[in-house]
């Protein structure tokens, strides 16, 4: 497990909490469906003080799912998966993860009760498949469609449909231990990023606790760039934003706080 510590302005060592996302689904890898869970989870995690460090997209394949989940569990504090927990034959996430962890798949009595309550007399064997969990699992509430998500310690098995995924995450609001969230601020500038690359590098070098990213764009017939600064200390973030704006303006660049 990755347990990096960062030096903050007040000198305390803060533990950085990390996460990975494993997106499961041929529909994503074939280009048929555009993933929408990565960006949502990233922002949700940041509010919890947890950093999304890696994402893997794997096929509906037992070995591929298992390998990705095990690799991510070994490297990060929390691991989330999306996709492959529905009622059809191509939904193999539970079986793949159970196999990878070396535990049996068992019916979860509470999940079965939830599904029976949701479907009433429309309950079928296929729907009851969604009550199968790796042994030892807890459930994640699904306020949208009943079929619950699954928690196994620091592993969270969620649906692929964004609305359902987001409902499951709401149930986890404030429940996962994290550290300080990463704050961000943007500077917009009407300049080619390559024109100010040296200046940016100098400011980055002098302020290693604030991470500076450069994102160029072309709009209204001219080029510009947004510089996004990220830090955990709000005072340091504010100070470096001010000094970068000042440096850009001193260089003759039309730069303002806030994203263009």
Minimum distance from CB of 136 to a second copy (Å)?
26
Tokens of 245: 């704006």
- Candidates 3, 34, 120, 221: give the one binding a second copy (CB under 8 A): 34
- Candidates 195, 247, 251, 256: give the one binding a second copy (CB under 8 A): 195
Determine, following the binding rule CB under 8 A, whether residue 209 of this chain makes contact with a second copy. Answer: no
Minimum distance from CB of 61 to a second copy (Å)?
9
Pairing assessment for the beta strands 50-58 and 17-24 based on DSSP bridges: parallel
β-strand partners of 5? 15
- Candidates 24, 28, 152, 229: give the one binding a second copy (CB under 8 A): 28
Determine, following the binding rule CB under 8 A, whether residue 95 of this chain makes contact with a second copy. Answer: no
- Candidates 16, 49, 50, 53: give the one binding a second copy (CB under 8 A): 53
Helix and strand numbers (H, E) in the chain are 9, 14
H/E segment holding residue 21: strand 17-24
- Candidates 64, 105, 106, 260: give the one binding a second copy (CB under 8 A): 64
Determine, following the binding rule CB under 8 A, whether residue 168 of this chain makes contact with a second copy. Answer: no
Cα distance from N-terminal residue to C-terminal residue, the chain: 38
**Beta carbon nearer to a second copy, 152 or 203:** 203
Contact 216, 207 (CB under 8 A): no
Determine, following the binding rule CB under 8 A, whether residue 90 of this chain makes contact with a second copy. Answer: yes
Residue 32 CB neighbours (<10 A)? 9
- Candidates 102, 109, 121, 125: give the one binding a second copy (CB under 8 A): 125
**Beta carbon nearer to a second copy, 106 or 199:** 199
Contact 257, 248 (CB under 8 A): no
Instruction: Select the span of 98-106, 166-174, 207-215, 247-255 touching a second copy (CB under 8 A).
Output: 207-215
Short-list 213, 209, 204, 173, CA closest to 14: 209
- Candidates 6, 8, 14, 42: give the one binding a second copy (CB under 8 A): 42
Alpha helices, DSSP H, located in the chain = 26-29, 37-47, 62-75, 93-101, 109-119, 125-128, 162-170, 197-206, 234-250
Q: How far is CA 168 from CA 8, 80, 131, 150, 230, in A?
A: 33, 11, 16, 10, 28
Tokens of 193: 């990023």
Site residue total, a second copy (CB under 8 A): 59
Determine, following the binding rule CB under 8 A, whether residue 58 of this chain makes contact with a second copy. Answer: yes
- Interface residue list for a second copy (CB under 8 A): 26-36, 38-43, 46, 52-60, 64, 86-90, 124-127, 129-130, 161, 182, 184, 193-195, 197-198, 200-201, 204-205, 211-216, 228, 230
């Amino acid at each position: 497990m990755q347990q990096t510590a960062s030096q903050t302005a007040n000198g305390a060592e803060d533990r950085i909490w990390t996460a990975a996302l494993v997106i499961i689904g041929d529909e994503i890898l074939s280009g048929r469906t555009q993933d929408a869970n990565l960006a949502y989870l990233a922002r949700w995690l940041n509010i919890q003080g947890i950093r999304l460090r890696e994402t893997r997209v794997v096929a509906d394949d037992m070995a591929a799912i298992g390998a990705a989940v095990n690799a991510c569990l070994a490297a990060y504090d929390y691991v989330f998966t999306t996709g492959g927990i529905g009622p059809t034959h191509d939904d193999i996430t539970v079986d793949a993860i159970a196999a990878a962890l070396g535990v049996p798949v068992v019916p979860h009595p509470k999940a079965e009760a939830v599904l029976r309550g949701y479907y009433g007399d429309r309950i079928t064997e296929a729907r009851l498949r969604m009550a199968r969990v790796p042994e030892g699992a807890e459930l994640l509430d699904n306020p949208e469609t009943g079929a619950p998500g699954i928690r196994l310690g620091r592993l969270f098995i969620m649906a692929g449909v964004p609305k359902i995924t987001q409902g499951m995450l709401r149930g986890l609001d404030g429940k996962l231990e994290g550290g300080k969230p990463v704050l961000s601020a943007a500077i917009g500038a009407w300049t080619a990023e390559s024109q100010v690359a040296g200046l940016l590098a100098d400011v980055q070098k002098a302020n290693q606790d604030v991470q500076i990213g450069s994102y160029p764009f072309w709009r209204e017939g001219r080029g510009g760039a947004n510089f996004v600064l990220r830090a955990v200390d709000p005072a340091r973030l504010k100070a470096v934003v001010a000094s970068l704006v000042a440096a850009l303006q001193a260089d003759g660049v039309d730069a303002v706080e806030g994203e263009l």
